Amino acid sequence: MRSVQEPTIRDVARAAGVSYQTVSRVINGNERVAEATRRRVQTAIGELGYRPNRAARELAGKAVRSLTVLTSDTSLYGNAAALRGIEEAARTAGFAVSISVLDRHAALDAEELRARLVRPGEPVIVIAFDAAGVRALELLPADVPVTALVERPPGDDPDPRHVWLDDRLAATRATRHLLGLGHPTVHCLALPSSTAHTAQRTEGWLDALREAGVDAPAPIDGGWTPRSGYLAARGLLERHPDATAVLCGNDDLALGMLRAAREAGRRVPDELSVVGFDDTPASAYLAPALTTVRLDFEGLGRTGFGLLHRLLDPSAPGQEPCAEPELIVRESSGPGGRGIG
């Protein structure tokens, strides 16, 4: 089919005057090859431009270095950044990365997953920040090597194949920041939870309110996009005209919140403080620039890959840990309520 035939291990062997098995040994870094022979083979490889055939290698039972990422939407900032981290770490380790996108709306079933989304024997990393990812994770057969990027799992004995950022702590810090500015309470515009439990960011918000002995208003359900944030924010402002501070599930929701506030004539941060999550590249340039919590999604992606790598090969090197959540105070949060005002 290809006009120029790729050279095979036997072509190399012939060129180097050795057997094909010796070439295989050189390729795989086997010790038991004389230095002179090894050099001869490597020269032949270089001259012929030989590349090992993945399919043949895989068929012959060699663990093949590839993985599939399962994710719902590559254009969300967190997902895209995590994907970048995975891809980078994987490529460094010589893994090829495939990607399968989960439809957030269609109900996924195990058959579909097995038949079309993951290949037999292929290891998988699931970006499971949302319900679609979590569902895929549940449906994955037990014998598939898998790690997952998740919200912090509830319970004391979390799955060792999961990695997460400390969203709960991040939310607590952001909420403390707002309470510290003098706001009597903080409202919450929440992301959809990925599980049946309350989302971690919402839990962290509750933690801080409880800690301060403040009654928690009911959190408002948002989606993932600026549009859904905007719609939810309008509802929030209508029901709580007295709100002075809102913690939003991500920067996109916060953007929608900012707009809704503007339309309602609520000046940010003078009358209303808004805080987001993720520190997207846009957030520093919004009007007003968004106070947010920077989360190391790229690092999380690298960590997720590292965990999978060690699952497949226990001698694989460890990964640097992710950065801690970091509150970035900008213009959208300011003194409120019983504060300096």
The residues that touch DNA, with contacts defined as CB under 7 A, are 5-6, 8-10, 18-22, 24-25, 27-28, 31-34, 36-38, 50-53, 56-57, 59-62
Residue 49 CB, nearest distance to DNA (Å)? 11
Instruction: Check residue 281 and give left, alpha or beta (phi > 0: left; psi -120 to 50: alpha).
Output: alpha
Of 54, 197, 210, 267, which one interacts with its own copies (CB under 8 A)? 54
Report the distance separating Cα 275 and Cα 279, nearest Å.
10
x-or-dash string of contact with its own copies, 187-226, rule CB under 8 A: --------------------------------------xx
Question: Hey, CA dihedral for 243, 248, 254, 260, is it positive or negative?
Answer: negative
73-102 residues in contact with its own copies (CB under 8 A) are 73-75, 77, 80-81, 83-84, 87-88, 91, 94, 96-101
Q: Nearest distance from residue 63's CB to DNA, in Å?
A: 8
- With b for 16 or more beta-carbon neighbours within 10 A and e for fewer, the 15-52 pattern comes to bbebeeebbbbbbeeeeebeeebbebbeebbeebebeb
Q: Whats the size of the chain, residue-wise? A: 341
**Partner interacting with residue 25 (select from its own copies, DNA, none; CB below 5-8 Å by kind):** DNA
Determine which residue in the list 136, 190, 255, 300 makes contact with its own copies, applying CB under 8 A. Answer: 255
Contact of residue 230 among DNA, its own copies, none (CB under 5-8 Å per partner type) = its own copies
Question: Nearest Cα to 325, choosing from 188, 200, 160?
Answer: 200
CB of 45 to DNA, least distance (A): 10
Nearest distance in Å: CB 285, its own copies:
4
Tell me the per-residue interface mask from 257 to 296 with its own copies, x by CB under 8 A, - otherwise.
-xx--x------------------xx-xxxx-x-------
Q: Select the binding partner of residue 33 from DNA, its own copies, none (C-beta < 5 to 8 A, by kind).
A: DNA
Residue 154 DSSP code: S
- Residue 10's binding partner out of DNA, its own copies, none, with CB under 5 to 8 Å set by partner kind: DNA
Nearer to DNA, 64 or 131 (CB): 64
DSSP string, 88-136: HHHHHTT-EEEEEEPPSSSPP-HHHIIIIIS-TT--EEEEESSHHHHHH
Question: Measured between alpha carbons, how far is 99 from 102 in angstroms, rounded to an integer?
Answer: 10
CA distance 335 to 323: 28
Instruction: Tell me: does residue 119 bind its own copies (CB under 8 A).
Output: yes
If you ran DSSP here, which 8-state letter would residue 316 be given?
A: S
Q: Among its own copies, DNA, none, what binds residue 8 when CB lies within 5 to 8 Å by partner kind?
A: DNA
Compute how many residues bind its own copies; rule: CB under 8 A: 60
Do residues 98 and 68 touch, judged by C-beta distance below 8 A? yes
Q: Which is nearer to its own copies, 87 or 130 (CB)?
A: 87
Nearest partner of 147 among 299, 314, 304, 301, judged by Cα: 304
In the complex, the smallest distance separating the C-beta of residue 223 from its own copies, rounded to whole angstroms, is 11
Residue 6 contacts its own copies per CB under 8 A: yes
Q: How many CA within 13 A on the CB side of residue 93?
A: 27
Q: What is the DSSP string of 14-69?
A: HHHTS-HHHHHHHHTT-S-S-HHHHHHHHHHHHHHT----HHHHHHTTPPP-EEEE
Contact residues toward its own copies (CB under 8 A) are 1-4, 6, 49, 51, 53-56, 58-59, 61, 63-64, 66, 73-75, 77, 80-81, 83-84, 87-88, 91, 94, 96-101, 114-116, 119-121, 143, 225-227, 229-230, 252, 255-256, 258-259, 262, 281-282, 284-287, 289
